[in-house]
Each structure stands twice: as C-alpha cells, then as structure tokens.
C-alpha cells in the first residue's frame, strides 16, 4: 500500500469506527432497555411530545381569545379541562398579576411552587404534585381587553423522556470518546507503519556511515519506503563493489610493483655484472668483449620488451586502448599469420600449419593488429616452451552455431594440470620458464585482455610433457 492510500484509509476509519461503535451500542441499548427496564425509546415518544406542545399552544391561543373574567363553572372551564385531560396536565392562568384560574387538585403550596419554578429560569422547572412529576411551562399572553398575563402549564413528565435524553447524551459521549480513542489508535498504527521501517533504514544508514557494508537492507513498509529501501540497498551494493574494486586495485598495484621490481632486477643485475667484467678487464679479447656486449644488448632488449608489455597491460587494464574492429576472413587471416611466422619457426625446427574445418569463408570482427599480438604471444610461447626435436604447431579452425573456435596446438613441454588455469594470470610464469626462457609473464594476461575486449573467450588445455592447446572462441559475423 502507498502512503497516500494508507492516509485516506486511516482517516476514513477514524470517522467510520466511532460511528459503528456508537450505532452498535445504541442498538444494543435500545433492545436491552425494552427487555429489562420496561421502557421503550422510539419515535412515538417524539411524536407525543410534539403533540403535547401543539396542544398547549392551541390552548394558550384560546385563552387569549376568551373574555371571561371568572372561568370557574363556565363552558370554557369544561373546554380547558378537556384539553388538559388529553395531556394529563394542570393549568394556572394569571391575568394582571392575579391568579384567575387553576386546575382542581392543586393546593396553595402546589400553586406557589409552580409559580416560583415558572419564574426561575435557571432551574429545571419541575414540580411534584402527589407522586407525579410535572414540567412547568410558562407562556406569556395578552388578553382581549389588552391586559397582560401568562399561562402556566404543568405537563407530567414521563420517565422515558429522561431516559431518552440521557440516552442521546450517552450516545454522543460514546461517539466522542470512541472518536478520540480511534484517532489515537489509528495515529499510533500509522506512525508505527511509517516510523518502524524508517527507523530500520536509519540504523542501516548509521552502519554504512561506520563503514559496515556486509548486511542487507530489508524492504519493509509502504511502497514509497520500500522503494527508498531498494535505492539504499543498491547504493550499499555499489559502495561495497567500489570498495572491493579499490581493494583489488590496491592489491594489483602492490603485486605489479613487487613483480616489476623482481623481474627487472634479474636482467639489470646481469647487465651490471657484464659491465663490471668489462671495466675490470675480464673481457680481455675482442671475442669476449663482443660476447659481453651482445649479452648486455640482449638483456636491454629483454627489459625493453618487459616495459612494453607492462605498459600495454596497464593500458588494456584501464581500457585506454580502443579497438579498431574490421570484418575479417578468418582463413585468410591465419594463412597470412602462418606465412609471417614460418621462416622464424623453421629456424627452431618447428613446423606450423593450418587445419581448416570450416565449410566456407567465415568472418569475424577483430582488430587485426591487436589480435595478431594474441596469436604471436601464443605461437611465441609454443616456440619458447618447445622441448621436442621436431616441433609442431597446428592451428585448427572450427565453428559452432555462433562462434569460430581457434585452437593453437603444440607438442611442447606442456603444463602441469594444476597450473593450466593460472597461465592467464599476470606475472604467472611456470617454474622452468622462469629460469630458462625470457619473458615477462604478461603475454597471456595481455592476450586474455585483448580476446575479452573482442567479447571472446580464451582457455588452455594441456597435457604435461605432450603439449599444450590454447583455444579462443570469437563470435561469427555474416
């Protein structure tokens, strides 16, 4: 539920609930009162009291019209008694401050009481004659002969009228009390529904502020608050990811620095040794000198290559190198690649050939130059880690429904099965490679970055002592 709807619902409930409570209590009271108190409260009561009132007013009008000085014993007295019989009441008529008529069965005390009640505006205007309670109602009047006076009626009050009055007051009071209680309850529930999730959210924020990110912000409460929780949860995940990425980046940097210093130190130390040898006069023949200088040159190139690899790797890592994709016929591309590498490989007695299992010309989108770097890395590894007299490199081209699979297979020394997965890690070099062949340990890490930059995959399958296959899958285009 959203907050707007909840507010509408609660406000409606604040009105409806007291109404229902008051109605239920009224119904119960009415049905119980007729059962237990021998009284009934109904519409007839109202009708009767209205009737009495109209009868009284009629009578007052008649009196004002009458010109009789002494009512006793006249027809008009009969008429009055008839009217009074209808309402069971009594009457006192005052003309010019003297009582000119009063009903039978009234003594002096009753008349005095009635007059004082009629004049007393602040009292309840009640008198008791015999066992009957009367309500005293006074009406001013002007007689035909212009004299002023008033008529005082004593109307018997029924118990029910009081009950009815009290009942209405009680129902009103119940309505008011239940309104207040409902509104307190509804406000409490409403604030709980809104405040509890907000408090939870606040606690989560405090945790995040204190750097704790390993918890989940639960989605609770109304729609708007749930959405707020979702946003905060996403923010927490992003924050956590970015902190993790930063930590990883820091670790990478530390590893990079320690690996660079370690890997650069080896060739530099050997250059230092050879230079020292020359300075000490150890290279005392032109041949020796040439050998020393050639070694120094080789090591310098090695350092240069390592720095190149490092630069390329960090640029790829920072995604600073744009790829220039071109639609390329994969078979043509590998034929060219073989043509380029064959002469150099032949020097090491390694044969290279292509086994094309593609049915017809197939195209891929590649950055030819960067992709060539991948293939050269792989072929160079096959050459470097070749331990057989007759070296062989075969490039297989196959296809699946959506990709071209390139497999570059050699019959070299192979890789221990525990290490196959590590060869794409930066600075990873097999133990034997570290001591024998030159390299930076970045070749395959760079290759992986480039292949993944082409939305491709690269992996290795190797058989220790027998050889290694590096496989690449890359999407076909038409």
Ligand X SMILES: Nc1ncnc2c1ncn2[C@@H]1O[C@H](COP(=O)(O)OP(=O)(O)O)[C@@H](O)[C@H]1O
Closer to Mg ion by Cβ: residue 84 or 451: 451
Residues 368-397 that bind Mg ion (CB under 5 A): 381
Q: What are phi and psi of 441, to 5 degrees?
A: 75, 10
Candidate list 381, 411, 449, 473; residue touching ligand X; CB under 6 A:
381
Could you give the C-alpha distances from 107 to 100, 102, 113, 454, in angstroms and in order?
15, 10, 10, 122
Please, what is the minimum distance in Å from the beta carbon of residue 408 to ligand X? 8
CA angle centred on 62, ends 90 and 76, rounded to 5°: 65
Rank residues 113 and 377 by Cβ distance to ligand X and give the closer one. Answer: 377
For the CA atoms of 156, 160, 162, 167, what is the dihedral angle to 10 degrees? -160
Picked from Mg ion, ligand X, none, the partner binding residue 433 (CB below 5 to 8 A depending on kind) is ligand X
- Nearer residue to ligand X within complex by CB, 18 or 414: 414
* Least spacing, CB of residue 453 vs Mg ion, in Å: 18
DSSP letter string, 91-135: EEEEETTEEEEE-TT--HHHHHHHHHHHH-SSS--EEEETTEEEE
Nearer CB in complex with ligand X: 440/449: 440
- Bridge partners (DSSP) of residue 132 are 129
Nearest-approach distance from CB 380 to Mg ion, in angstroms: 6
Nearer to Mg ion, 174 or 445 (CB): 445
Contact 138, 76 (CB under 8 A): no
Q: Tell me which residue has its CB nearest to ligand X.
A: 439
Using the minimum distance from each CB to ligand X, give the nearer residue, 203 or 387. Answer: 387
Number of CB atoms found within 10 A of residue 439's CB? 21
Query: What x/- string results for residues 430 through 449 when contact with ligand X is judged by CB under 6 A?
Result: x--x-----xxxxxxx----
Partner that binds at residue 449, options ligand X, Mg ion, none, CB closer than 5 to 8 Å by kind: none
Dihedral sign for Cα 215, 217, 219, 220, please.
positive
Determine if 267 is a binding residue for ligand X (CB under 6 A): no
Which residue, judged by CB position, is nearest to Mg ion in the bound state?
Answer: 443
Smallest distance, ligand X to C-beta of residue 302, A: 10
H-type helices in 214-285, by residue range?
223-279
Contact between 429 and ligand X by CB under 6 A: the answer reads yes
User: How many Å apart are CA 284 and CA 31, to the nearest integer?
Assistant: 131
- The radius of gyration computed from the CA coordinates of the chain, to the nearest angstrom, equals 56
Q: Which is nearer to Mg ion, 197 or 441 (CB)?
A: 441
Per CB under 5 A, residues contacting Mg ion are 381, 439, 443
Per CB under 6 A, residues contacting ligand X are 377, 381-382, 385, 410, 412-415, 423, 428-430, 433, 439-445, 468
């Amino acid at each position: 539920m959203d907050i707007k709807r909840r507010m509408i619902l609660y406000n409606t409930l604040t009105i409806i609930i007291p109404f229902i409570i008051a109605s239920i209590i009224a119904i119960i009271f009415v049905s119980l009162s007729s059962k237990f108190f021998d009284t009934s409260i109904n519409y007839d009561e109202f009708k009767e009291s209205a009737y009495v009132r109209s009868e009284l007013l009629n009578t007052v009008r008649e009196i004002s019209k009458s010109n009789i000085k002494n009512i006793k014993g006249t027809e008009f007295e009969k008429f009055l008694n008839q009217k009074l019989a209808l309402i069971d009441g009594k009457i006192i008529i005052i003309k010019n401050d003297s009582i000119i008529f009063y009903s039978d069965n009234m003594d002096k005390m009753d008349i005095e009481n009635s007059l004082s009640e009629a004049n007393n505006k602040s009292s309840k205007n009640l008198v008791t004659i015999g066992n009957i309670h009367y309500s005293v109602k006074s009406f001013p009047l002007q007689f035909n002969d212009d004299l002023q006076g008033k008529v005082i009626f004593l109307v018997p009050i029924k118990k029910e009228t009081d009950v009815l009055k009290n009942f209405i007051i009680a129902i009103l009071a119940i309505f008011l009390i239940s309104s207040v209680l409902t509104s307190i309850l509804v406000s409490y529930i409403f604030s709980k529904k809104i405040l509890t999730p907000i408090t939870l959210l606040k606690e989560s924020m405090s945790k995040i502020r204190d750097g704790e990110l390993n918890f989940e912000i639960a989605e609770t409460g109304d729609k708007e608050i749930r959405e707020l929780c979702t946003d905060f949860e996403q923010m927490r995940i992003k924050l956590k990811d970015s902190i993790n990425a930063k930590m990883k980046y820091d670790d990478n940097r530390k590893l990079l620095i320690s690996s660079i210093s370690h890997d650069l130190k080896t060739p530099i130390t050997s250059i230092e040794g050879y230079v020292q040898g020359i300075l000490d006069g150890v290279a005392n023949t032109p041949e020796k000198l040439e050998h020393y200088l050639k070694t120094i040159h080789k090591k310098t190139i090695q350092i240069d290559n390592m720095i190149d690899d490092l630069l390329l790797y960090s640029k790829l890592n920072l995604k600073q190198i744009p790829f220039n994709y071109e639609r390329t016929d994969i078979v043509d591309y590998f034929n060219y690649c073989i043509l380029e590498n064959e002469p150099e490989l032949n020097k090491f007695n390694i044969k290279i050939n292509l086994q094309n299992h593609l049915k017809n010309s197939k195209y891929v989108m590649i950055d030819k130059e960067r992709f060539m770097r991948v293939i050269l890395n792989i072929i160079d590894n096959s050459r470097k880690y070749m331990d057989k007299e007759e070296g062989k490199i075969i490039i297989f081209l196959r296809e699946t429904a959506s990709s071209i699979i390139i497999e570059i297979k050699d019959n070299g020394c192979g890789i221990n099965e525990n290490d196959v997965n590590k060869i794409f890690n930066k600075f990873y070099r097999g133990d034997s490679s570290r001591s024998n062949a030159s390299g930076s340990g970045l070749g395959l890490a760079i290759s992986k970055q480039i292949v993944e930059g082409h939305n491709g995959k690269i992996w290795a399958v190797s058989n220790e002592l027998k050889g290694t296959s590096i496989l690449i899958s890359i999407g076909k285009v038409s």
